[in-house]
Amino acid sequence: MKTYGSDRGFSGEAFVPKEDDDVIICRCEEITRGEIRKAIYDGMRTISEIRRYLRPGMGPCQGMTCERNVRGILARETGLPLSQIPGYRPRSPQRPVTLAELGNESEEEGGGV
């Protein structure tokens, strides 16, 4: 039975390109549909693996625009229902903040080098 993250064998077949492979899915990192399909072909089976391997959703917008599409591609390529595929894991600080802002705690917090 197929489940999320399972079915990791290598078929030995060549990667088959598709017509819409050059559509950009993640604008921040400029990653195309074809690159995501190729990552799945290379063995990536979870959203985290695709993100780490290729970086979609790791740019300044943190995946606001591409999450749905990447999940959709993984569902289609692996034959899993979309409901079984989780979204991106949110990471602080959620929205980019400058180092000065992030480090701006009160004096007694200490820190720095």
Partner 1 sequence: MSTKMKADVVVIGSGAVGSATAYFLAKEGKKVIVLEKGHSIGCGQSCRNGGMNKIDGRGLGELPIAIYGLKCWKDLSQDVDTEYVEKGGIRIALDDEQQEYMERFLPFGKEAGLHLQSMTGDQLREKIPEFSPRITGAIYCQEESKMNPLKTTLGIYSAARRLGVTYVSGEEVCALHTRQGRIYAAETKNGNLYEADQILVAAAYGSRQILNTVGIDLPLYSYYEEIFVTEKIPKILDQMFVSAKVTYYGEQQENGTILFGGASGFGNYPNREWYPDSYQDRKRLPAEARALVDLFPCLADTRVVRGWGGWMDISPDDSMMLGETVEIPGLFVACGFSGHGFGVSVPAAKVTSEIMCGKKPGADISHVMYDRFSKHMDMFTGADRNHLINDIQKK
- Catalog residues that contact partner 1 under the rule CB under 8 A: 3-6, 8-10, 42-46, 48-49, 52-53, 55, 58-60, 62, 91-93, 96-100, 102-105, 109-113
CB of 10 to partner 1, least distance (A): 5
> Distance of CA 56 to CAs 22, 66, 84, Å?
15, 7, 20
Bridge partners of 26? Answer: 31
Q: Find the shortest distance in angstroms from Cβ 76 to partner 1.
A: 19
CB of 15 to partner 1, least distance (A): 12
Q: How far is the CB of 2 from partner 1 (least distance, A)?
A: 12
Listed residue (35, 94, 36, 38) closest to 63, CA to CA: 94
Give the separation between CA 62 and CA 27, rounded to whole angstroms.
11
What is the CB-side half-sphere exposure of residue 79 using CA atoms within 13 A? 5
The nearer residue to partner 1, 20 or 82, going by C-beta atoms, is 82
Based on CB atoms, which residue is closest to partner 1, 52 or 76? 52
